[in-house]
Chain A
Amino acid sequence: MMQKLSRLAVSAEGFVFNPASGDSFQVSATGLRVLNALREGQAEDQIAHSLAETYQVELEDARRDVAEFCAALKSFGLTS
């Protein structure tokens, strides 16, 4: 997972460019946080915990959202 993610160009404003494919993406503010955490190698569960600690969201919902975000990354070919 890490290898592909680490190649992405990610701006502080949530603009993501995949130099391997030429595709561009946009992530929301929390999406950027999750993406950066993934790039640092954090586990999904760890990221969900950190979301729940920072934001007004239940851990269970955060887990589901992170899992869905990861699935979306995969469907866009950003992770294998």
Chain B
Amino acid sequence: MKMPYEKPIVTKLQTGWMNKYGRTFAYARKVRTEIDGVGIDDLVGQFGSPLFVYSERTLRRLYRQMHSAFSTRYPNVVFGWSYKTNYLGAICALMHQLGSWAEVVSAMEYQKARALGVPGEKIVFNGPHKPRAALERAVAEGATINVDHLDEIYDLEKVSLQLGRPIHIGLRLNLDAGIYPQWSRFGFNLESGQALEAAKRIKNGGKLRVHGLHCHLGTYLMETAPYQRQVEKLVGFATDLERTFGFALEYLDLGGGFPSKSRLKGVYLPPEVALPSMDEYAETIAQALSKTLPPGEFPRLILEAGRALVDEAGYLIATVGAAKRLADGTRAYVVDAGVNLLFTSYWYKFNIELDREVGGMNEHSVVYGPLCMNIDALDEGVALPPLARGTRLILSPVGAYNQTQSMQFIEYRPAAVLVGERGQVDVIREAEDLSDITRRERVPTRFASPPQTGP
């Protein structure tokens, strides 16, 4: 019987790196042979590599946890599924089945939500660019519209004139909740009086009614306190609106920004240590609401949940295509998925798990994607044992903002599958082929003849 093999390795010992475990030992040596009971080998064998894999069980669990965190503390909670986070039809449909509304930020997303059967009154329409036609449709279908700027107010007043009836709108505000950087490019600024000025303008126009307030503080907020300040300021502003203009508050949309257990680069602590729990966020928000709202009043609380619901449910399986040694001796791997599929790797450091036990010493390694570009690195420093060609890497969490931002640059986009609760696997997006790249192209006929061989 022959002995198990591991590659022969020699590494130079360098001060600061003399730790037999390597710097990211635990991630590097985690083995994942399956996702919700379905083998990595089976998945790749059937659907190819790279492959996006989503876990229905995790999606449902995260939804349940977050929903119960808020709904047990406040009686009137609505989740608006943030389409831009991941608008794969199957994921959206599941979120809607669980009870989420759609939160969309463009005409395309609006159309997608409608195409999935979401009625207009269960769509929250946000974003800085809402073309006139999209606004008209949203108004006609009863969507919740959060206005970003004055020009949108002018547009909506014209729509109101057209329809001959007043339109209810929400105002998007930006405010100082003590977080950095403050997102000031969206909506009307509260502290400078811009928001109040807009409300006055709306009142004077006589065509629109403000019935909701919206504010999205930022993304991946690692503290609960900003939400408290946000609620206090929004409710304070709502009170002013009611007193001064008679606009009654029907909903408060606090946006999203709830983090997932993804590891943000530039943040020193790992997420499981650095982040408050969803219950802590919910507690802070519910307490702030109960302190500031008049007793017995429970305006609809809209939360634009995205990352926190889907990120941890998404995996990307990639395959090692080559191992090389860089000029300075660093070990490098080329895998079949790069920043073309994992755009967020610019900001996040993913967990990298292996599909098998690999013996041997960890080496400081770089993982490159397949693009013929210098920037295409998934991880510039991870301790990995010597990996053979064909080893699969399972990167996670990648469910948020990767699928929707993936691009076709020099590679096809891969299939995406959903592993169901009973282990069934459904393709929710087919792998692309050349027809997806060329379908919209037109080659003028004068170029149509292929190059001739020979003189």
Contact = CB atoms under 8 A, between A and B. Distances in A.
A–B direct touch in complex (beta carbons closer than 8 A): yes
B7 A75 contact: no
Interface in A32-80: 33-35, 51, 53-57, 61, 65-66, 68-69, 71-73, 75-76, 78
Nearest to A61: B388
A26 B17 CA distance: 12
Interface residues of B, number: 18
B10 A26 contact: yes
Contact of A25 (B3, B10, B388): B10
Given A61-B388, A76-B329, A55 B3 contact: yes
Contacts of A26: 10-11, 13, 361
Contacts of B294: none
A69 B7 CA distance: 9
A30 B6 contact: yes
Interface string B227-269: 0000000000000000000000000000000000000000000
B206 interface: no
Contact of B4 (A24, A31, A51, A55): A55
Interface of A: 16, 23-31, 33-35, 51, 53-57, 61, 65-66, 68-69, 71-73, 75-76, 78
28 contacts: A16-B10, A23-B12, A23-B13, A24-B13, A25-B11, A27-B8, A27-B9, A27-B10, A28-B6, A28-B7, A28-B8, A28-B10, A28-B386, A30-B5, A30-B6, A30-B7, A34-B8, A35-B8, A55-B3, A55-B4, A56-B2, A56-B4, A65-B8, A66-B8, A69-B9, A72-B9, A73-B10, A75-B329
What 9 pairs across the A-B complex have the smallest Cβ distances? A55-B5, A31-B8, A57-B5, A30-B8, A28-B9, A24-B13, A69-B8, A34-B8, A56-B2
